[in-house]
Amino acid sequence: MNPIAHSPHAHAPVSIGKVMATVLLALTPATLFSFWLYGWPAVNLWAVSLIAAILGEAFVVRMQGRKVRPVLMDGSGILTAWLLALSLPPYAPWWIAVLGSLFAVIIGKQVFGGLGQNVFNPAMAARVMLLISFPLEMTTWVAPSQAPGLLESLRITFFSQPIDGMASASLLGHVKTEFTRGIGLDQALTGYYAPLDMLWGSRAGSLGETAAVLLLLGGLFLIARRIITWHAPVAMLLGVAVPALLFNTIDANHYAGPMVHLLSGGLMLGAFFIITDPVTSPNTAMGQFIFGLGCGLLTWIIRTWGGYPEGVAFAVLLMNAATPIIDQYVKPRIYGRDRKGAALAVKKES
């Protein structure tokens, strides 16, 4: 006989696996687009990331004496590797992907105790580790002009063939470089910033961060499917756009406008797919809004005054660290109690 089961004796048709699969589905259009844009090297990098994450996670879970299958089947390791791959430069060598993926699933997640236990977003932790350790490989961008053939792509990914004549800079990187040469925004952006191209992704950047529209659509799909809510993404976009607008109005030659910021770098990927990671973000709507706002503001600050041209990954990690304290102070009001938790007053008959 089955043990006595507790109510409820019904369950919504949901599971962790389905949640992860829906997120992967939402990422697919932007990913396929980046494959088309950058060709085979992007496919290689994506595949290597996923394989490394799966094998690495299986290995450590086995070492812990736990069952490997359920851990792999929840899809969280694949999602982490997928997000990491999308944040890498498309022509990065294979070992960048392997190192990043292993760091993400092992150091970023399993060391903390596995799914649901990690403090920092594993993909972003891995990206920051790579950026700090291998700045050259992590900032060698290419303009998405002529996609190389399969054979050539294998040479690029696996034998680090130099990419002559194709190297380019991302918009944010370019602007930062121009600033150091004392050149203002008006000149720096000329011929470099075309809003439509930014929107559709025909520009230099990480594998998955370029197709802003497709990422936005993926995010809206997740909101519609109730996998995520609007709070964190909208707050992050506001956190970047509002100060950008303010400072751009004051001094347009030194501060890029909101559209440049919104369509640049990893902002769309970050807003809809990274900071909505439930494990490392607060668990109330208000908390998520504050979290998103913090991520946006820090991103803008790092982009504007920091040493790195892009700040999404750093901003996310900093706000991840703030998540427990946000959760400590932002809690829903309980029925029959006031915000401080005291019972509501008894209504006396007049």
- Indicate the residue among 264 and 320 with the shorter CB distance to other proteins: 320
CA distance 204 to 91: 11
Per 3-state DSSP, the chain is made up of helix, strand and coil in percentages (nearest 5) of 60, 0, 40
Q: What are phi and psi of 337, to 5 degrees?
A: -130, 160
209 binds other proteins (CB under 8 A): no
Query: Residue 79 to residues 50, 54, 113, 325: CA-CA distances in angstroms?
Result: 8, 10, 18, 26
186 binds other proteins (CB under 8 A): no
9 binds other proteins (CB under 8 A): yes
CA distance 291 to 276: 10
- Indicate the residue among 6 and 181 with the shorter CB distance to other proteins: 6
Least distance to other proteins from the beta carbon of 332, Å? 4
Query: Residue 218 to residues 10, 138, 188, 341: CA-CA distances in angstroms?
Result: 30, 25, 31, 39
- Indicate the residue among 180 and 350 with the shorter CB distance to other proteins: 350
Q: What are phi and psi of 202, to 5 degrees?
A: -80, 75
- The contact pattern for other proteins, residues 284-323, with x = CB under 8 A and - = no contact, is xx--------------------------------------
Nearest residue to 307 via CA among 169, 154, 180: 180
- Indicate the residue among 23 and 88 with the shorter CB distance to other proteins: 23
CB 99 within 8 A of CB 82: no
Number of residues that bind other proteins (CB under 8 A): 46
210 binds other proteins (CB under 8 A): no
Q: Hey, which residues does 142 pair with through a beta bridge?
A: 167
336 binds other proteins (CB under 8 A): yes
- Indicate the residue among 11 and 181 with the shorter CB distance to other proteins: 11
122 binds other proteins (CB under 8 A): no
- Indicate the residue among 161 and 229 with the shorter CB distance to other proteins: 229
Residues that bind other proteins (CB under 8 A): 1-2, 4-16, 18-19, 70, 74, 76, 114-117, 229, 278-279, 281, 283-285, 327, 331-337, 341, 343-347, 349
